[in-house]
């Protein structure tokens, strides 16, 4: 667990049973289907969930998380463990299609009622399901407020999503996959669980690429990049190299290369040198 998550959990000690540290023993599947949940149902902060308890993200942080994701009307957001539906409903109110996956049937029914009451049930949908048995690969934005170890379990699934997919987590990080951005919820977010982290799923570029006049050898660690450009018989180490979704940029031999992955090829421009392209060699 990172220092930040330990701190977050320590802060949480002063707030209700939320510091049962979200780590819970799995509960039995709810007996009540979503439609049968009573309208009076009121969830309690800290109530047991399948893999993590329910604690709602504060509205100020939801707003910040959607800004960090750069959410647009073209996006399809999926909230993993959607609780009372607030992130999904906020995204739908901003014009995006949004979907919540939540194991607790009463929370699903409550979310559906709220979406109807807020007039966004056409864009905000919910299902009662286990996030670890669900396919959310079509999402362009994924939000989550789970636990460090659940984030790590989800990490390979997230990294297999389309390059450019944005992932935003309340409080918890992805261990060695460092966030591209971190930000607080601002003054309207009270002192606990007020930090969000965002990532852009990087294209998988590790390996050797053939250029017209040389070879590009890339060593990728998540969005970080190192490597060498062999050009016209000379070897240049890459510097200021990074992957941002489908885009790649690096400096080699005193020139800045910018490009993107398109149909399996890297294509782009090199400053002062026109266009460049590369195809996978291995
Ligand atoms: C900390 S709450 C976050 C709720 C919401 N995403 C938010 O930010 O307000 C985590 C939610 O995940 C749900 N949950 C726990 N394990 C789950 C699982 N395996 N599949 C789906 N939902 C799960 C819990 O019921 C709870 O509502």
Q: Is the CB of 100 under 6 A from ligand 1?
A: no
pLDDT at 127: 98
Q: Residue 232's pLDDT band (boundaries 50, 70, 90)?
A: confident
User: If you take atom 8 of ligand 1, which residue's CA is the nearest one?
Assistant: 57
Q: Which residue has the higher pLDDT, 256 or 8?
A: 256
Asked if residue 7 has pLDDT above 70, the reply is: no
Pocket test for ligand 1, best of 46, 64, 102, 148 (most atoms within 8 A of CB): 102
Asked if residue 5 has pLDDT above 90, the reply is: no
Angle at 218 between CA 180 and CA 179, to 5 degrees: 10
Q: Which residue has the higher pLDDT, 71 or 187?
A: 71
Domains of the chain (ranges, CATH numbers): 59-200 (3.40.50.150), 207-280 (2.40.128)
Report the nearest atom of ligand 1 relative to the CA of 47: 25
Express each pLDDT in 77-115 by its tens digit.
Answer: 999 999 999 999 999 999 999 999 999 999 999 999 999
Please list, in sequence order, all residues whose beta carbon lies within 8 angstroms of the beta carbon of residue 257, skipping any fewer than 6 positions away.
229, 248, 249, 250, 251, 268, 269, 270, 276
Asked if residue 21 has pLDDT above 50, the reply is: no
Rg (the chain; Cα; Å):
22
Distances (CA, A) of 70 to 45, 67, 77, 168, 249: 29, 5, 11, 10, 21
User: If you take atom 20 of ligand 1, which residue's CA is the nearest one?
Assistant: 130
Q: Residue 75's pLDDT band (boundaries 50, 70, 90)?
A: very high
């Amino acid at each position: 667990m990172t220092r930040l998550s330990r701190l977050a959990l320590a802060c949480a000690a002063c707030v209700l049973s939320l510091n049962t540290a979200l780590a819970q023993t799995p509960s039995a599947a709810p007996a009540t289907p979503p439609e049968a949940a009573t309208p009076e149902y009121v969830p309690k902060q800290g109530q047991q969930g399948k893999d993590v308890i329910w604690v709602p993200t504060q509205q100020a942080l939801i707003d910040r998380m959607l800004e960090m994701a750069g959410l647009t009307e073209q996006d399809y957001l999926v909230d993993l463990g959607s609780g009372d539906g607030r992130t999904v409903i906020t995204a739908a109110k901003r014009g995006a299609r949004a979907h919540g996956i939540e194991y607790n049937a009463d929370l699903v029914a409550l979310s559906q009622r709220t979406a109807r009451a807020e007039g966004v049930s056409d864009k905000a949908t919910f299902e009662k399901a286990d996030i670890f048995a669900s396919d959310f690969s079509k999402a362009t934005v994924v939000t989550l407020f789970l636990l460090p170890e659940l984030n790590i379990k989800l990490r390979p699934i997230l990294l297999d999503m389309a390059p450019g997919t944005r992932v935003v987590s309340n409080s918890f990080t992805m261990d060695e996959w460092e966030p591209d951005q971190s930000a607080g919820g601002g003054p309207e977010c009270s002192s606990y669980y007020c930090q969000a982290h965002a990532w852009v799923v990087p294209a998988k570029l590790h390996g050797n690429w053939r250029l017209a006049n040389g070879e590009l050898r890339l060593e990728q660690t998540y969005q970080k990049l190192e490597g060498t450009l062999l050009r016209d018989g000379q070897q240049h180490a890459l510097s200021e190299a990074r992957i941002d979704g489908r885009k790649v940029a690096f400096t080699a031999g005193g020139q800045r290369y910018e490009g993107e992955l398109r149909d399996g090829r890297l294509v782009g421009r090199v400053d002062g040198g026109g266009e460049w392209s590369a195809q996978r060699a291995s």
